[in-house]
Homo-oligomer: A and B are copies of this chain.
């Protein structure tokens, strides 16, 4: 009997039986290094919404960069028969992890990591965007620019440091000898405050991460300096923090909507049976000028 009328379908098919017979759990997993990163949180929320419309439940595990958590998560995903996974792990080179992915029995989608495995992926244009940010500052007359980037050995940090050095060299400028030690336990506040106290202090900072940004803003205020008159600032990765600060902070903002659409569509396609070769695509950052960079000319 086909159901008529539009009463809320009382039919609740049993998910386990369905999964067993159809060999599809209708589960999609995400493994992200960090749930505090607003980009990942937003990506997860958006994917969960989109995939819910298609009848999928989306899981998430945050590894806090810990290898063992990442390994366990992938194992669990495999054992549970997930239909696909989206990963941005904190360890992009670990052989055990790579082996697990090699053997993974469902499509894998990699978000902004350089990993030696056959899988679809999106890569963010860190090199181009950092270059643009440096050029922006150089054009405004800045010569002492300090990068405050993650030191993690994954794609974003590696590429940003390399791109920064290249852009500075191209502009004939010196890369500051001291690199900010941005790790989970370091006191960015103290480091930045110390740097700002020196006579040849940087006139501009490139700051990655909203938590770090908040420490940096705090350090600047604490040193009695002002944004942008005394210190110019570009946030690497946009956030509510950068947007809502007074004054608002110029930021490199990832084209998040494009990322979301691409990940959700491509993963669904793979689940539905796309068998083509692994796809790699790129997502850009846009420099959103909010006036936090001072014109020194």
Contact = CB atoms under 8 A, between A and B. Distances in A.
A127 to B, nearest CB: 30
Copies in the complex: 2
Interface residues of A, number: 43
Contact of A20 (B14, B48, B61, B222): B14
Contacts of A244: 187, 189, 215
A258 interface: no
Contact of A25 (B16, B45, B214): B16
A16 B61 CA distance: 20
Interface in A76-97: 76, 78-81
Interface string A184-200: 00010100000000000
Given A221-B221, A222-B246, A57 B35 contact: no
Nearest to A17: B20
B59 A59 contact: yes
A252 interface: no
A194 to B, nearest CB: 13
A1 interface: no
Interface of A: 12-17, 19-20, 25, 35-36, 38, 41, 45, 48, 52, 57, 59-62, 64, 72, 76, 78-81, 187, 189, 211, 214-215, 217-219, 221-222, 240-241, 244-246
20 contacts: A12-B78, A13-B79, A14-B81, A15-B79, A15-B81, A16-B25, A19-B19, A19-B20, A20-B20, A35-B41, A52-B72, A52-B76, A57-B80, A60-B60, A187-B244, A189-B246, A214-B214, A217-B218, A221-B221, A222-B246
